[in-house]
Each structure stands twice: as C-alpha cells, then as structure tokens.
Amino acid sequence: MLIAIASLIGTILIYLACSRLYMKIPLPILHPVLSSVAVLVLLLIGLDVPYETYMAGARWIDALLGPAVVALAYPLYTQRKLLVRYWKSVLSAVFASLLAGLGSIYVFAVFAGIEQQVLMSLFPKSITTPVAIQVSATLEGIPSMTVAFVMTAGFTGAIIGPAVLQVARVRSEASKGLALGSASHGVGLTKAAELGDRPLSMGSVAMTLSAIFGAGVIPFIIYLFTAS
C-alpha cells in the first residue's frame, strides 16, 4: 500500500519538477512528458522496482487517460465556428496524414524485413493510445509493443515537429495543430497547447478524427492486403 501511494505521489512530483524545468529551459528534449518518463524509468531500474508494483499506484493516473481525451471537447467547442468553416480541409488533411503514415510504415517494413506480428503492432502508432491498443489486438499484434510505438511517435513529433514545420515554412496555426495532432496524438497536443488555443483545438480535432478513421481504415486496409 505504501509503495502504491509513493509511486502515485512520486510520479506527480516528478512530472511537476520536469514541467518547471521545461518552463525555465524550453528545449524540445526536456519536454516534461519525455523527461519525466526517462526519470521514472531510471528510478525503477535503479531501485529494482517491478513494473507491476509501480502500477499499483500509478494506475490511478493511467485511469485519467480516458477523461483527459474527453476533456478535449472543450477546445473543440470554443473553436467550433472555425471547424465548421474549414471542415473539408480538416477531413482531407487528417485522412491524408493517416494514409501517409500507413504507407511509410509499410515501405519501411518491406525494406527492413519486419515480421508480420511486429508490423501489425506498428500500424496503429499514429492514433491515440486507447484506440491503438484495441486496433493492435484486432490485427493480432502485440498491444504492449504498440504502446511503445505510439509513445515513440508522440515524443518524436513533440521534439522535432516544430522544427520540421518551420523548415517547411508552415505559417498557419491551424495547420500546425493539425500536423501535431494527427502525427503525434496526445503528446503532440501538449506541444500544440504551447502555440495557442487554435493549434490546440485543431490538434485535438486531428487526434480525434485520426482515432476514428484509424479504427476503421487500418483493419480494412490490412484485410484487403491479406485477402489478396
């Protein structure tokens, strides 16, 4: 019981400390989600604490993932007029991002010789974790491996995404939000939130639509390939 309480409080304190550090030194590599995960992993390894023991308390934080996703409805509501105005652009951008992600994964898998079960675990990497886990299980992938791929995609987008957008000369706040939300889901949204309400709103739209499209499109595309 004490270990469970310590893991819960410790996780919160570590995240707050990493957030404060990021505010003082806003380097992409010090993003609080990434740095707090790194600190927690090092502590668990150093103290020889089993993951199951840690999750006895941290599961309460994990349980907040669902409500946190639902809470994204608020920025959607505040920017509803903008979304209605550009709904065609939003839908096409999110769908194109999803197809580009699937295509790049498939090409990489062909050249790298990745086995099928790992490939099935990799396909849902650009949709939010709760949905990605279910899609991975449907495809007979490895859900735990999918979580790792989702986190990697999120961290990569949050760290190098803004630089890529700058090099590509993307000026629109809405476009930045769409890119971060569709490519890097929840972690990308934390970066979009730094850019303002509009990028956050568009990012939350992109993440939500990517999850909806991904849950239906990914299994369908895989079925077409395996059937042929």
pLDDT in tens, 92-148: 888 888 888 888 888 888 888 888 888 888 888 878 777 888 888 888 888 888 888
Q: Is residue 68 part of a domain?
A: no
Percent of the chain exceeding pLDDT 90 equals 4
State the residue range of the domain holding 104. 73-227
Q: What is the pTM of this model?
A: 0.74
Does residue 34 share a domain with residue 117? no
Does residue 118 share a domain with residue 160? yes
pLDDT at 225: 66
pLDDT at 141: 84
Q: What residues of the chain score a pLDDT lower than 70?
A: 1, 69, 72, 75-76, 225-228
pLDDT at 1: 66
pLDDT at 17: 93
Q: Is residue 59 part of a domain?
A: yes
- CA-to-CA distance for 46 and 161, rounded, in angstroms? 32
What total of structural domains would you count in the chain? 2
Q: Is residue 185 part of a domain?
A: yes
pLDDT at 16: 92
- The residue among 152, 156, 146, 155 whose CA lies nearest residue 214 is 146
Q: Is residue 157 part of a domain?
A: yes
How many other CB atoms are found less than 10 A from the CB of residue 221? Answer: 16
pLDDT at 157: 83
Q: Is residue 143 part of a domain?
A: yes
Does residue 56 share a domain with residue 105? no
Does residue 175 share a domain with residue 104? yes
- The per-residue b/e assignment along 79-118, b for 16 or more CB within 10 angstroms, e otherwise, is beeeeeeeeeebeebbeebbeebbeebbeebeeeebeeee
Q: Is residue 10 part of a domain?
A: yes
Q: How far does CA 62 lie from the centroid of its chain?
A: 14
Does residue 57 share a domain with residue 136? no
Does residue 191 share a domain with residue 131? yes
Q: How far is CA 144 from CA 20, 53, 130, 141, in A?
A: 30, 17, 11, 9
pLDDT at 193: 82
pLDDT at 72: 64
